A and B are shown apart, each in its own frame.
Chain A
């Protein structure tokens, strides 16, 4: 069974530039999550989708971050404009509905903002 796919794996941008990350969840997983993991910390949930609807985006900085999951499968997370403090690993995870404890994570995208 294929795991959660993410791209790109690494990205370096300058502050005020924009960047987008892509995620393809495990087949059949209707729930998709985006997390931000700052070095030395645990992942922090940014947004959760159930199919193509948003379940929780309470910790998403909506002035600069946006996410979509138009067809209920793939998802993109965008940052515009980026700030230095956005340097982190952006993790995508997926799970079956009603099983939030059994999340499967992708390898992450390591973002460096200079």
Chain B
């Protein structure tokens, strides 16, 4: 079993839709949880960073962490074509472990 599992997609939604991206993990020692966005042929870009269970909101993005279920989510409201990218979850207690990435396409 991988330490971090992420559905690779691809996921295609119409502009304006709410997008839900998810990861599960097995290591209860993980202390911090991140979401990165990676455009084609670019390096990952940090979107959201949280230590604790609960929700964290930043504009159209909401990160949710449920440590009891070992499950994290990223919600994107009012999705835009510019949100089309691969979204990577990452987590750790020392070094980061990344998920496989979910490829998202938002159609105009």
Contacts and interface: CB of A to CB of B under 8 A. Distances in A.
Interface of A: 4, 40-45, 48, 56, 91, 93, 100-108, 110
B88 interface: yes
Interface string B77-108: 00000000000101010111011110000000
Contact-residue size bin, chain B (C-beta under 8 Å from the other chain)? 20 to 34
B99 A42 contact: yes
Interface string B15-54: 0000000000000000011101000011111100101000
Indicate the member of A100, A101, A103 with the most B CB atoms within 10 Å.
Answer: A101
Given A100-B95, A101-B33, A102-B49, 13 more contacts: A40-B8, A40-B101, A41-B100, A42-B4, A42-B98, A56-B95, A100-B32, A101-B32, A101-B92, A105-B44, A108-B42, A108-B43, A110-B41
B46 to A, nearest CB: 6
Contacts of B36: 105
Contacts of B32: 100-101
A4 B43 contact: yes
A24 to B, nearest CB: 14
A52 B70 CA distance: 35
6 contacts: A41-B100, A42-B90, A100-B95, A102-B46, A102-B49, A104-B46
Nearest to A105: B43
A101 B41 CA distance: 22
Contacts of A40: 8, 100-101
B45 A41 contact: no
B94 A42 contact: no
A108 B39 CA distance: 12
Contacts of A4: 43
A42 B42 contact: no
